[in-house]
């Protein structure tokens, strides 16, 4: 079991990590592909998969925000 305050702090930490992850990953993937000798069609496939991962990450962020809102509004103090 976890107290509401501690749970909210952990959710905020998760939000921060999620916000930082996508730009860092994007930067490294772009740089790696730019300097690689991978063929253009293969590079395009990799970028397509990466874009799909970004969409999933965005959805994940929305779910985290919903959870944070629900926990914040709840009268429960233990989860």
Q: What is the predicted pLDDT for the residue at 75?
A: 92
DSSP string, 4-70: HHHHHHHHHHHHHHHHHHHHHHHHHHHHHHHHS---HHHHHHHHHHHHHHHHHHHHHHHHHHHHHHH
For residue 55, being part of any structural domain is answered with: yes
Query: pTM for this one?
Result: 0.73
pLDDT tens per residue across span 9-35: 999 999 999 888 878 887 888 788 888
pLDDT tens per residue across span 25-62: 878 887 888 888 889 899 889 888 888 888 888 899 99
For residue 78, being part of any structural domain is answered with: no
Cβ atoms 28, 64 nearer than 8 A = no
Higher pLDDT, 68 or 20: 68
For residue 11, being part of any structural domain is answered with: yes
Mean pLDDT of 62-67: 95
For residue 79, being part of any structural domain is answered with: no
Per the structure, the count of domains in the chain is: 1
């Amino acid at each position: 079991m976890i107290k509401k305050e501690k749970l909210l702090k952990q959710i905020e930490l998760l939000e921060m990590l999620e916000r930082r992850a996508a730009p860092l990953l994007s930067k490294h993937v772009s740089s790696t592909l730019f300097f690689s000798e991978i063929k253009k069609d293969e590079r395009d496939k990799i970028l397509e998969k990466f874009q799909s991962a970004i969409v999933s990450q965005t959805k994940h962020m929305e779910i985290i925000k919903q959870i944070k809102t629900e926990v914040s509004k709840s009268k429960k103090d233990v989860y």
